[in-house]
C-alpha cells in the first residue's frame, strides 16, 4: 500500500444484511456511494473471500469483511477570485466575514469555483498553506444556504488558537431561525446525539450512537400560532445540528428542503407572508453573533452579522400576522 493511501477494514453488521454493497460501505465509512462505486471499479475494494464476486449491487451478508484502499485526494489548484466580501472584523491575524446565502465555504466536488476560499485567497495573500490546500484559513464552516458570521485565520498560530477555542466551546455562537410552529417552552436545552442518518447518507439524524450535540434554544418571537423566530446558541458544532434539533422538536426551519416537510400556508395569512415564503429559496437560518477572546491579542471580539434581504423580507412579513 502506498503511504498516501488510507486502508479501511469494514465488517458488515447483522442489521445491514441484504443491503447493497455500495450503500453498506458508504454507511460504514465517510465515503459517498459514488466514491464507493469508483473504488469498486478500480479494484480498490476487496472481499476477505478472494473468490467472491463483488459489485455495487451485491447483497451483503452479516460478517462479510471488506478492505478498502482509499487513495489520497489530489489537492485542487486554487485560483484567487475577486469576489466581494462583507467583512465584519479584520486585523493582521484573522478576519470575520458575513457569508451570503448560496456561497459554499470551501471547494469540493461540484464546487470548484466561486467559494469563500477563492474570495479569501484574493483578499489575503498569506492564506495558502494554512489548514491544507483546499481549506486555507478555515476553522469552522456553515452550510451553503445558511448566511452569517464566519471566522478565518490568517496565520498558523491564529488557526491553532481558534481551533482550541472551538474545541473547548469558548466561542459565543448565536443563530436566528424562522420556524414553522411555536414551542410550548420559552427556553430549552436540547441535548440529542447526532450522527449520519441510517438510510440517507446526505442527511443527519438523532441517533443513539451519534456524537453529543447541545443547543440552547430560546423562543424570541412568535408570529400568531403558526410561526416563530428562535435564537439558538451552539455548545457543539455537529453537521446540521440546529436544523436536526429543531426538526426533532417539531419546529422545522422554514425553507429547509432536507429536514422540513413542504406545507401549504393558510389562505388566511396576509399576501405578504405568502410572497415571502414563496421567495424563500433556502433554510431561514442565520449565524448572527460570533464572539470570543482573540487568541493572539486577547481582545474581546463580538460581531453581529446583519440579516440578508430575504430574511428581512420574511421577518417583516411574519410580523404582520395577528393571533
What is the tens place of the pLDDT at every residue in 250-288?
999 999 999 998 888 888 899 999 999 999 999 999 999
264 and 287 inside one domain:
yes
Cα 41 off chain centre by: 30
3-state secondary structure of 132: coil
In a domain, 277, yes or no: yes
In a domain, 115, yes or no: yes
pLDDT recorded at residue 196: 86
pLDDT tens digits, one per residue of 57-116: 999 999 999 999 887 655 557 788 899 999 999 999 999 999 999 999 877 766 678 899
190 and 289 inside one domain:
yes
In a domain, 141, yes or no: yes
pLDDT tens digits, one per residue of 27-41: 888 777 888 898 999
284 and 196 inside one domain:
yes
In a domain, 81, yes or no: no
In a domain, 82, yes or no: no
11 and 25 inside one domain:
yes
- CA pair distance 218, 233, nearest whole angstrom: 9
Number of domains in the chain: 3
Give the mean pLDDT of 41-61. 89
220 and 294 inside one domain:
yes
**DSSP secondary structure, 24-67, as one string:** HHHHHSS--HHHHHHHHHHT-EEESSTT----TTPBP-TT-EEE
Angle at 174 between CA 97 and CA 94, to 5 degrees: 30
Bridge-based pairing of strands 214-223 and 147-153 is unpaired
In a domain, 79, yes or no: no
3-state secondary structure of 217: strand
Note down the domain range covering 254: 172-318
Residues with Cβ within 8 Å of 204's Cβ and at least 6 positions away in sequence, in order, are 194, 195, 196, 197, 238, 239, 240, 241, 244
The H or E element spanning position 205 is strand 204-206
pLDDT band at residue 1 using 50, 70 and 90 as cut-offs: very low
298 and 201 inside one domain:
yes
**Catalytically annotated residue among 22, 82, 91, 143:** 143
143 noted as active-site residue: yes
149 and 193 inside one domain:
no
Q: What is the CATH number of the domain that holds 210?
A: 3.30.2350.10
Record the cell numbers describing residue 269, joined without a space. Answer: 395569512
pLDDT tens digits, one per residue of 206-243: 999 899 999 999 999 999 999 999 999 999 999 999 99
Give bridge partners of residue 310 from the DSSP assignment. none
The phi and psi torsions of 171 (rounded to 5 degrees) equal -120, 130
Amino acid at each position: 500500500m502506498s503511504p498516501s493511501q488510507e486502508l479501511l477494514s469494514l465488517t458488515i453488521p447483522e442489521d445491514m444484511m441484504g443491503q447493497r454493497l455500495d450503500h453498506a460501505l458508504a454507511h460504514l465509512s465517510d465515503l459517498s456511494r459514488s466514491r464507493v462505486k469508483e473504488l469498486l471499479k478500480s479494484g480498490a475494494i476487496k472481499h476477505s473471500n478472494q473468490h467472491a464476486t463483488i459489485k455495487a449491487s451485491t447483497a451483503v451478508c452479516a460478517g462479510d469483511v471488506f478492505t478498502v484502499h482509499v487513495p489520497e485526494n489530489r489537492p485542487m489548484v486554487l485560483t484567487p477570485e475577486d469576489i466581494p466580501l462583507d467583512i465584519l472584523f479584520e486585523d493582521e491575524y484573522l478576519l470575520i466575514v458575513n457569508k451570503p446565502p448560496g456561497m459554499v465555504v470551501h471547494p469540493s466536488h461540484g464546487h470548484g469555483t466561486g467559494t469563500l476560499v477563492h474570495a479569501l485567497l484574493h483578499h489575503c495573500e498569506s492564506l495558502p498553506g494554512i489548514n491544507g490546500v483546499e481549506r486555507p484559513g478555515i476553522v469552522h464552516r456553515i452550510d451553503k444556504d445558511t448566511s452569517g458570521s464566519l471566522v478565518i485565520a490568517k496565520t498558523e498560530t491564529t488557526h491553532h488558537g481558534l481551533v482550541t477555542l472551538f474545541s473547548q466551546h469558548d466561542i459565543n455562537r448565536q443563530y436566528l431561525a424562522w420556524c414553522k410552529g411555536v414551542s410550548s417552552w420559552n427556553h430549552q436545552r436540547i441535548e440529542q446525539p447526532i450522527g449520519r442518518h441510517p438510510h440517507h447518507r446526505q442527511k443527519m439524524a438523532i441517533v443513539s450512537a451519534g456524537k453529543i450535540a447541545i443547543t440552547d434554544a430560546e423562543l424570541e418571537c412568535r408570529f400568531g400560532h403558526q410561526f416563530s423566530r428562535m435564537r439558538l446558541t451552539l455548545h457543539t458544532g455537529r453537521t446540521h445540528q440546529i436544523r436536526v434539533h429543531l426538526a426533532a422538536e417539531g419546529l422545522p426551519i422554514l425553507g429547509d428542503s432536507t429536514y422540513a416537510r413542504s406545507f401549504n400556508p393558510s389562505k388566511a395569512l396576509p399576501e405578504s407572508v405568502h410572497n415571502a415564503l414563496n421567495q424563500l429559496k433556502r433554510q431561514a437560518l442565520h449565524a448572527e453573533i460570533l464572539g470570543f477572546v482573540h487568541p493572539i491579542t486577547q481582545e474581546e471580539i463580538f460581531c453581529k452579522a446583519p440579516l440578508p434581504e430575504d430574511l428581512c423580507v420574511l421577518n417583516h412579513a411574519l410580523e404582520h400576522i395577528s393571533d
